[in-house]
């Protein structure tokens, strides 16, 4: 594929950061048996990768701003353009020596995502998309899956963990989807989950309360691969709010329906609990 100048800049930054992460990833596995553990080392690896991306993108477009996981917001002179960067999506996987993590870079223009790159250096897979130009992995065109029946559909999903997310609500969603589908996978890196939907590996994906840098690049991959991306209720997707449900047209519609049914069942259960409490 012929990449635009912008995609070349983004790709170079992602691959350079990825090489930094791979060097550090080799050390993480050696640190797993240490008393202190690798947590501090991984935090430093995250910062090093972000510094690489910041340096490379700033050099190419010095007037553009940033929204980054570690640095936060960096204002630019050009108010129309902003890079949205996660230098290490899948930090927990990285910390535990699991080779499923990515560098994620998106370009926001006037509030809309117009280009995205997701690079998994452990698998040497580079996913790229630009508005109107299609989606690719390692220069090969990708499309969302053609499956239309839920019993054949494989879903990716996020999952809440200690101190984060609505655990009870997620269990309702999980029960609803797993009862109708071929299975659910929790891979631990939302940018790659979205890239896998774009490549037809997952038929759909959903997760709540993600950050902009988790979903911005992945969402344009799905759309440019022919998929549908909304919030979990089927409304307009907003990478700033971070609730996402996606898939091909049929599977996306069915997934949103299942998630809505889970919400209704939970509300009914809450109402029943309230009524029961009032009778006591």
Q: Please provide residue 118's backbone torsions phi and psi, each rounded to the nearest 5 degrees.
A: -130, 120
Read off the pLDDT band of 26 (50, 70, 90).
confident
Largest Cα–Cα separation, the chain: 70
Is residue 88 pLDDT above 80, yes or no? yes
Distance, first Cα to last Cα, the chain: 68
Q: Is 89 annotated as a binding residue?
A: yes
Token pair for residue 270? 């809450």
Q: Are 118 and 217 in contact (CB under 8 A)?
A: yes
Report whether 214 belongs to an annotated binding site: yes
- Per-residue pLDDT, averaged over 228-242, amounts to 95
User: How wide is the angle at C-alpha 191 spanned by C-alphas 126 and 176, nearest 5°?
Assistant: 135
Count how many Cα atoms sit within 13 Å of the Cα of residue 97 in the half-sphere of its side chain.
10
Domains defined for the chain, CATH in brackets? 5-141 (3.30.540.10), 150-279 (3.40.190.80)
CA angle 178, 184, 186 (to 5 degrees): 135
Cα 66 from Cα 276, distance rounded (Å): 51
Sheet holding 135-137, edge to edge: 72-74, 64-68, 78-89, 102-109, 112-120, 125-130, 135-137, 140-141
Q: What pLDDT is stored for residue 28 in this prediction?
A: 75
The C-alpha angle 185, 16, 83, rounded to 5 degrees, equals: 75
- Ligand-binding annotation for 224, yes or no, is no
What confidence tens digit (pLDDT) does each residue in 40-55 have?
667 888 999 999 999 9
Q: Annotated binding residue at 69?
A: yes
pLDDT per position as a tens digit, 127-139: 999 999 999 999 9
CA dihedral 177, 181, 185, 191 (to 10 degrees): -80
Q: Which of 233, 258, 261 is CA-nearest to residue 245?
A: 233
Residue 37 binned pLDDT confidence (cut-offs 50, 70, 90) = low
- The reply, when asked if residue 78 is annotated as ligand binding, is no
């Amino acid at each position: 594929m012929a990449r635009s100048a912008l995609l070349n800049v983004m790709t170079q930054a992602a691959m350079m950061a990825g090489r930094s992460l791979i060097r550090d990833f080799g050390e993480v596995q050696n640190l797993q048996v240490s008393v202190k553990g690798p947590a501090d080392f991984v935090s430093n690896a995250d910062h090093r990768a972000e510094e690489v991306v910041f340096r490379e993108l700033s050099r190419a477009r010095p007037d553009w701003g940033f929204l980054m996981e570690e640095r936060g917001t960096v204002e630019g002179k050009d108010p129309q353009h902003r890079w949205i960067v996660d230098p290490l999506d899948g930090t927990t996987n990285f910390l535990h020596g699991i080779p499923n993590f990515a560098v994620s870079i998106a370009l926001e223009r006037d509030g809309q995502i117009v280009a995205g790159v997701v690079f998994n250096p452990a698998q040497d897979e580079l996913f790229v998309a630009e508005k109107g130009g299609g989606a690719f992995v390692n220069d090969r065109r990708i499309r969302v899956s053609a499956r239309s029946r839920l019993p054949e559909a494989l879903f990716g999903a996020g999952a809440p963990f200690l101190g984060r997310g609505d655990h009870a609500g997620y269990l309702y969603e999980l029960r609803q989807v797993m009862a109708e589908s071929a299975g659910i996978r929790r891979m631990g890196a939302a940018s790659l989950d979205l890239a896998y939907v774009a490549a037809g590996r997952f038929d759909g994906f959903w997760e709540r309360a993600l950050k902009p840098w988790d979903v911005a690049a992945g969402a344009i991959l799905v759309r440019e691969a022919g998929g549908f991306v909304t919030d979990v209720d089927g409304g307009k997707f907003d990478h700033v709010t971070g609730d996402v449900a996606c898939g091909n047209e049929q599977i996306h519609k069915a997934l949103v329906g299942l998630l809505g049914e889970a919400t209704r069942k939970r509300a009914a259960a809450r109402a029943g609990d309230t009524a029961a409490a009032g009778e006591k």
